[in-house]
Amino acid sequence: MPRKDTTTAARTSLPTAPYVRVKRFLKEGLAAGRWPTGTLMPSESELVAQFEVSRMTVTRAVRELQAEGLIDRVQGIGTFAAQLSRVSSTLTIRDLHEEILSRGHRHRAEIHLAKRERASAAVATRLGIQTGSTVFHTLMVHFENDVPLQCEDRYVNPACAPDYLSVDFTQVTPTNYLLQVAPLWEAQYSIEAGLPSEQEAQLLRLRHDEPCLVIVRSTERGGVPITIARLVHPGSRYMLSGQFKP
Amino acid sequence: MPRKDTTTAARTSLPTAPYVRVKRFLKEGLAAGRWPTGTLMPSESELVAQFEVSRMTVTRAVRELQAEGLIDRVQGIGTFAAQLSRVSSTLTIRDLHEEILSRGHRHRAEIHLAKRERASAAVATRLGIQTGSTVFHTLMVHFENDVPLQCEDRYVNPACAPDYLSVDFTQVTPTNYLLQVAPLWEAQYSIEAGLPSEQEAQLLRLRHDEPCLVIVRSTERGGVPITIARLVHPGSRYMLSGQFKP
DNA sequence: CAGTGGTCTAGACCACTCG
DNA sequence: GAGTGGTCTAGACCACTGT
């Protein structure tokens, strides 16, 4: 009889999956401070005995908690409660076009620059190419219902997207196009508050002393830099938001 | 013979785990555009046949990709390539004290307020309590090597941390203390650029027109609000950074 | 109905760490 | 050697979707 008899409770309401029960037990124990940070938690075999389930089931529950960063496991040693203070959230950065449409608003892009240039030392370094070699450079402003929302200043490695300049960016955002050409596999970003450059202030129709949210993002794939972008948002018109949900 | 014979390759170099191989196959296929967004991907049974592994192994690989948001699965239908453009990053917000120490710098907190107050309507709403009932209110500035780095204005629901005001916040940060009392299970935040209030500018030793990164974070547990905090950082001295790594 | 994913089991071998 | 996690298998039952 490979299938275990389902005599045990949980028939009245929801027949919660066993691995979910194990997971919940551990999660609630952590929330209740039953295993303070760094404490040794029950071993897999203990959980197997306690819940009368197979080890695979326990393993799944525990592995998922590990993936969520709630516990640390060390082979040969045991399972430990993780630093709950290092909780991390998922900050989803969507394509601005989609984001605006999903709010039910209109999106429009104004192209101010789209040409090939010689890479400055700073740009070349970050794109992993030779100073003075060709790069693609675009500068545009994105509008939400005709209000300027983002100034996008972007350099692209021609090796990764040779046809970049032939794209009509009033129809497809650079992000979207680059995702088609090379799904972005790794990226780094920084988020800070700062003042717009003179040009940015003008393009965004801002006074030069209005604070902006500045996101600098560089994207690469397998160690090959694809693009770097500086995204400037008027502080009064844009905010990032997200959730923690450990 | 329950154990499968390990005749097949991968003996010369690393004996990569089968589930890793399956996962890598799918991941690289997605990167190469083999399955555009929304496309039907191989079923579990196909992968079982192709890789000559058990279904559990395939399931694990596929389930992990799903957790990473790279694929969508629908019972009874199949597995589909997810929208790669909605890649999300993990933004880890650590305790500022730890963050500063990990940079090898000194942390110091200056307490400007720590008392009980009657909740204003705005605060009461966000803390889920009655207007006019008691709340704890703290205001402090955190220094990194004696440079003001963050102004923390915080309201706490007394029901969740009755002893909050008896804590010596020059020794323990509110975040740290609240994490001990009630590990934060859910939180929401917004990040924006803005100007400091007059008081904040003074506390941070800023001109009132210097842009700041403002994080507003509210924390709850099981639907019960614990605390709301407004964290103001001088734009010139602080930045958030993170990575995408799908 | 056949095909899909969702879950579970009872065992197994391995690598690792500790006393 | 005993205990831990890391991984795998061959089968199974289920719920769900299509035709």
Name the 3-class secondary structure at B184.
coil
Q: How far is CA A154 from CA A158, A166, A180, A220, B24, in A?
A: 12, 15, 17, 14, 31
- Nearest Cβ partner of B190 from A188, A209, A239? A239
Q: Which CATH class name applies to B18-86?
A: mainly alpha
Domain residue ranges of chain A, discontinuous segments joined by +: 18-86, 96-234
Fold of the CATH domain A96-234: Chorismate lyase (3.40.1410)
Question: Are A88 and B91 a contacting pair at CB < 8 A?
Answer: yes
Interval B97-131: pLDDT, tens? 988 998 999 999 999 999 999 999 999 999 999 99
B84 close to A (CB below 8 A): yes
To test the contact with chain A by mutation, choose from B59, B91, B97, B177 the residue with the greatest count of A C-beta atoms within 10 A, namely: B91
Instruction: Give yes or no for residue B144 having a pLDDT over 60.
Output: yes
Q: Which residue has the tokens 């706490």?
A: B156
In this complex, the answer to whether residue B6 has its CB under 7 A from any atom of chain D, a nucleic strand, is no
Question: Are B213 and A236 a contacting pair at CB < 8 A?
Answer: no
β-pairing, B78-81 vs B88-92, is: unpaired
Does residue A221 contact residue A184 with C-beta atoms inside 8 Å?
yes
Instruction: Give yes or no for residue A11 having a pLDDT over 90.
Output: no
Interval A15-57: pLDDT, tens? 789 999 999 999 999 988 899 889 999 999 999 999 999 999 9
Interval A208-237: pLDDT, tens? 999 999 999 999 888 899 999 999 999 989
Instruction: Specify the pLDDT at position B156.
Output: 97
R_g of chain B, CA atoms, integer Å? 25
Question: Are B175 and A85 a contacting pair at CB < 8 A?
Answer: yes
Question: Are A236 and B194 a contacting pair at CB < 8 A?
Answer: yes
Residues 91-150 of B with CB under 7 A from strand D: none
Instruction: Name the minimum distance, in Å, from the CA of A209 to any CA of chain B.
Output: 7
Does residue A30 contact residue B183 with C-beta atoms inside 8 Å?
yes
Q: How many CB pairs under 8 A join A and B?
A: 168
Per the model's pLDDT, the better-predicted residue between B95 and A28 turns out to be A28
Note if the pTM is more than 0.85.
no
B186 close to A (CB below 8 A): yes
